[in-house]
Homo-oligomer: A and B are copies of this chain.
Amino acid sequence: MARTSSLSGFTEWLPEERLVELHLLDTLREVFERHGFASLESRAVETVETLLQKGEIDKEIYAISRMQDDQASARDARLALHFDLTVPFARYVVDNAGYLRFPFRRYQIQKVWRGERPQDGRYREFTQADVDIVGDGALPFRADVELAVVMATALEALRIGDFRMRINNRKLSEGFYRLLGLDDSAAVMRAIDKLEKIGPQKVTEELQTQAGADVEQARRALALAEIRTAGTEFLHQARALAADLDGNSALFEEGLSELSEVMEQMERRVPGRAQADLSIARGLDYYTGTVYETVLIGHEDLGSICSGGRYESLASKGSRTFPGVGLSIGVTRLVSRLLAVQQLRADRSVPTVVYLALRDEESWPQAQDVAEILRARGISAEVALTAEKLGKQIRHADRRGIPFVWFTDASGAHEVKDIRSGEQVPADPHTWQPPTEDLAPAIIADGPASAEPSAD
């Protein structure tokens, strides 16, 4: 696409590109609903106070204000556009706790906005697709397992190629650091989080300068982060690293056990898609257990296409807390890449299956009668607005990828032409049936990446 958007950082799709996005969103919705997740939307607008509760992100926020009526605006709370769907969902749960049933499974597919410099493929407006399970007071750990399986199942259904969900558990990491004698877990994780960006040498230095580690502690912390295995092989490697360490290993063991359960069920239900990756930390500080990131194989430069984790207190209302686990797909960046490499494309730009040509201007109502018969049978039909030369009408349909053109002559006899083959046959609108695969625009997956998990 040589198109440039007229406002930097704000992408808009052409109709045929929108069909690809819509197909992905429909697929996600179908998978989420098949697993019992309810649809939800939250308002796009939050108070600035709500948005800032979770940390230092104010420079990314778009504030909104009424253009006129300044006095009234001053009376209003300071408002801003949401920058993700997690913070609004937490606020929604608190607002509506009395009307919801817990554990509450919801999916939410909406635009979010970030006032960032639109560089490096960053968007100022983009669509996220989130799934969360939230409990009232408590949420069993196996919600973490369920969520990973649901999302991996959804990603498989998208036919976007192979992907790897990289999973860790903060209890495991933090428990190990404590055994090591490193008490500032946050500082350790901040350093470890940079492993892919700055490499092991610099991480080692940072562990020593920022997290108070000695050479051996830094070596071991780094060694833990370098564990990446399929299935539960990570267990033996992590335990070996901790074998000679004294102290309370309860948190470490709890993390090992949780991660094992996630990995076992992932191997059983979506084999080849999960990797235990003990370097995953996730920047946001409210995660407390399982953390997830996902790379699209062959597109590692995109960064994580789907991330999230467990938070012991997603939200709270007085003494009542709502623990949750969530995963979020960055849809716009994903669609943008899949379109750019032509891995997914739509075979037409409109939903139309049959284009009804006009033999003369007066035949429009008759053509609409025929179209109505087809539509009532679930066949998308569009009638030409003017009786141009037939060749021109056929070309107009062809250019938009509409597969069939319909002709009705003055005697009321019908013929339908398959534009692709050129074949034209007599047809009855009450019984003629296009091939099932022509009933909706097809989304063709023909990129280089295989949909099967690669052996690695």
Residues of A bordering B, CB below 8 Å? 3, 5-7, 10-15, 18-19, 22, 33-48, 58-59, 61-69, 72, 77, 79-81, 91-92, 95-96, 99-101, 103, 105-106, 111, 113, 115, 117, 124-125, 133, 135, 139-140, 142-143, 146, 149, 265, 268-269, 349-352, 364-365, 368, 372, 375, 378-383, 385-386, 396, 399-400
Contact = CB atoms under 8 A, between A and B. Distances in A.
A7 to B, nearest CB: 7
A39 B12 contact: no
Contacts of A69: 59, 115
Contacts of A146: 368, 383, 385
Contact of A39 (B22, B43, B399): B22
B38 A15 contact: yes
The 6 residue pairs across chains A and B that have the minimum distance between CB atoms: A36-B382, A66-B115, A36-B352, A33-B351, A59-B68, A10-B43
A175 to B, nearest CB: 23
25 contacts: A5-B95, A6-B95, A7-B45, A7-B46, A7-B47, A11-B43, A12-B41, A12-B42, A12-B96, A14-B100, A18-B38, A18-B40, A19-B39, A22-B39, A43-B125, A44-B125, A59-B67, A59-B68, A63-B65, A64-B64, A64-B113, A65-B65, A101-B399, A139-B385, A146-B383
A151 B100 CA distance: 35
Contact of A106 (B15, B64, B105): B15
B380 A38 contact: no
A365 B39 contact: no
Contacts of A41: 12-13, 18
Most B C-beta atoms less than 10 A away, residue of A91, A96, A143 = A96
B101 A349 contact: yes
B80 A10 contact: no
Nearest to A4: B95
A384 B227 CA distance: 33
A35 B381 contact: yes
Given A265-B365, A269-B368, A364-B142, A39 B63 contact: no
A215 to B, nearest CB: 40
Given A36-B382, A44-B113, A66 B62 contact: yes
A146 B81 CA distance: 38
A270 to B, nearest CB: 11
Contacts of A91: 6
A439 to B, nearest CB: 11
B43 A7 contact: yes
Contacts of A15: 38-40, 100, 106
Contact of A105 (B14, B37, B382): B382
